[in-house]
């Protein structure tokens, strides 16, 4: 049976903080031997608009990716999605009802604090780190329980700047993993952490081992915001997944999950 290379979490210039054309991203993915490549632009919402597409751009974004899917169909399988911020009160039905292959649910904000944004890194100094982690994983749990999304984006993103808790992160994260399992969501292994201060994938190996014990399925994303980041660290995160015990991953078509060998 064929083994697939998949990368479902990637961005475009429409988010206002990425570079490179859709064609350049796809051509890089083809050169890397990626079989299934997904665009998951930062979905619009009426908050933090400068780091995401607008509602007015949704149709043009979706059309652009579907046209690319047709144009490259003989070389690579292109998928269409959104990365949606789980921020209660700002999640919009226009995004939730979009005709896409999948929705990635991510937590980037705690009470409107963009904890992973270097612009707001100072707030890490004014709070107890363990409390921040607890609040973050409670938000991940709430996201899973909402039943709105297919994939959990960068599960332990909270570690990005290497502010680490005193409590074992496996203890802090366990309830959130259980809620992910109960919801039927897929856990993304995201290689972007390898190029951040933390210097490791999201999630860490210790958390991924817990996920494997719970029989939580996985997928892969490089979270590319530039052409050189396409497929970044793929071999490393694939080796991580296999070392933990995974031999299959999940991809999506029209919000339906398919299991593939990796």
Arithmetic mean of pLDDT, 191-213: 98
Whole-model pTM?
Answer: 0.97
Looking at the predicted structure, is the pLDDT value of residue 245 above 80?
yes
Determine which helix (DSSP H) or strand (DSSP E) holds 26, and give its type and residue range.
helix 22-31
Looking at the predicted structure, is the pLDDT value of residue 1 above 80?
no
Arithmetic mean of pLDDT, 92-96: 97
Structure tokens given for 222: 């490089």
Give the model confidence (pLDDT) of 158-171 as tens digits.
999 999 999 999 99
Dmax (CA) for the chain in angstroms is: 53
165-195 b/e with 16+ CB inside 10 Å = b?
Answer: beeebeebbeebbebbbebebbbbbbbbbbe
What is the chain's mean pLDDT, rounded?
Answer: 97
| Strand 151-152, strand 218-221: pairing | unpaired
% of the chain with per-residue pLDDT over 90:
97
pLDDT at residue number 233: 97
Structure tokens given for 249: 């991953």
| Strand 186-190, strand 256-261: pairing | unpaired
């Amino acid at each position: 049976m064929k083994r697939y290379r998949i990368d479902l979490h990637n961005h475009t210039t429409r988010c206002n903080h990425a570079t490179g054309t859709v064609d350049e991203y796809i051509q890089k993915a083809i050169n890397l031997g990626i079989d299934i490549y997904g665009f998951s632009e930062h979905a619009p919402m009426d908050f933090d608009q400068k780091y995401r597409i607008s509602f007015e751009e949704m149709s043009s974004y979706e059309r652009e990716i579907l046209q690319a899917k047709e144009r490259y169909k003989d070389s690579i399988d292109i998928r269409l999605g959104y990365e949606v911020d789980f921020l209660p009160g700002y999640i919009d039905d226009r995004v939730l009802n979009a005709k896409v292959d999948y929705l990635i649910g991510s937590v980037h904000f705690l009470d409107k604090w963009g904890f992973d944004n270097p612009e707001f890194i100072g707030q890490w100094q004014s709070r107890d780190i363990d409390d921040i982690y607890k609040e973050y994983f409670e938000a991940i749990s709430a996201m899973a329980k909402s039943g709105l999304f297919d994939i959990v984006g960068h599960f332990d993103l909270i570690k990005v700047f290497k502010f680490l808790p005193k409590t074992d992160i496996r203890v802090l994260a366990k309830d959130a993993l259980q809620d992910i399992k109960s919801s039927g969501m897929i856990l993304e292994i995201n290689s972007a952490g390898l190029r951040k201060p933390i210097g490791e994938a999201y999630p860490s190996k210790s958390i991924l081992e817990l996920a494997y014990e719970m029989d939580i399925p996985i997928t892969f994303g490089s979270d590319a915001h530039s052409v050189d980041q396409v497929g970044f660290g793929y071999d490393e995160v694939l080796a991580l997944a296999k070392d933990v015990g995974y031999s299959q991953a999940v991809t999506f078509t029209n919000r339906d999950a398919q299991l593939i060998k990796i």
